[in-house]
Amino acid sequence: GIQVEQSPPDLILQEGANSTLRCNFSDSVNNLQWFHQNPWGQLINLFYIPSGTKQNGRLSATTVATERYSLLYISSSQTTDSGVYFCAVQGTSYGKLTFGQGTILTVHP
């Protein structure tokens, strides 16, 4: 099956700092999503981005499908950004989304 690798595994920031999270995948994809899991366990969809660039407030994401990676940018981080960020991809097996191991982000005030 498709492999998904996220980096870094852990990231600690001061409030106001910027960060970049990376997701590498091993095969062509027709679906890529970024999720945030908050400290209460809720999984929130951030972006559906199989290719191109999208922005939503302080967050933006870019996927370069031909080079098999995606980046999630967080600017002016806030303590509420803390949690785990997951990248999930769908390869040739239609409907099946495979998750990476996540990046644990901690933002200190």
C-beta neighbour count of 92 within 10 angstroms: 11
Please report whether residue 96 would count as binding other proteins according to CB under 8 A: yes
Cβ proximity to other proteins: between 94 and 109 the closer is 94
Cβ proximity to other proteins: between 13 and 29 the closer is 29
Q: Which two tokens stand for residue 81?
A: 């950004």
Cβ proximity to other proteins: between 25 and 35 the closer is 35
How far apart CA 105 and CA 82 sit, in angstroms, is 5
Provide the binding-site residues for other proteins, judged by CB under 8 A.
31, 33, 35, 41-45, 48, 50, 86, 88, 90, 93, 95-102
